[in-house]
Structure 1
């Protein structure tokens, strides 16, 4: 019977030692876990900041593309207008040139 009491005392002692070791380990790892949590929070904040900046850049890129397209179209329209200009000028020149010859100087 004494062996049973010694076994029970040994089991109780082991459980007490287990609880003591668990508390000690928890206290030792708590600062590390806090540092990891803080690092994770900073990384999450940076990730959100990068995502926000990416969204802003996408919007800016679309605005720039739209502006470039508008300006390209304006330049093309101007070029077309300039290409059409020589015909009326030539006609005006010919008409003016022809009138000079038909004029009589007195």
Structure 2
């Protein structure tokens, strides 16, 4: 009987720990997303035109419709994964120079 009760308690605590871990991870992601978006441009303050590039693709369908796709790229945006990779790389880099922008 003791082994069965221990297995039940083990399952309960595993569920509790996983719920707490995912909650903490989700909170960190939400906080980093909100803090990154605090200074983001909006409709009232658009980004300067030299930092934005647009790509327009017009596709004709067989039934005669035209589909226009506009893709906007912000040249100043660096993804979080790239920032993490650069910081790890700069940690192991023997020079004191900042990581490259390539």
TM range (shorter): 0.3 to 0.5
Larger radius of gyration: 1
Bigger proportion of residues as helix: 1
Q: TM-score, normalised by structure 2?
A: 0.40
Bigger proportion of residues as strand: 2
Q: TM-score, normalised by structure 1?
A: 0.38
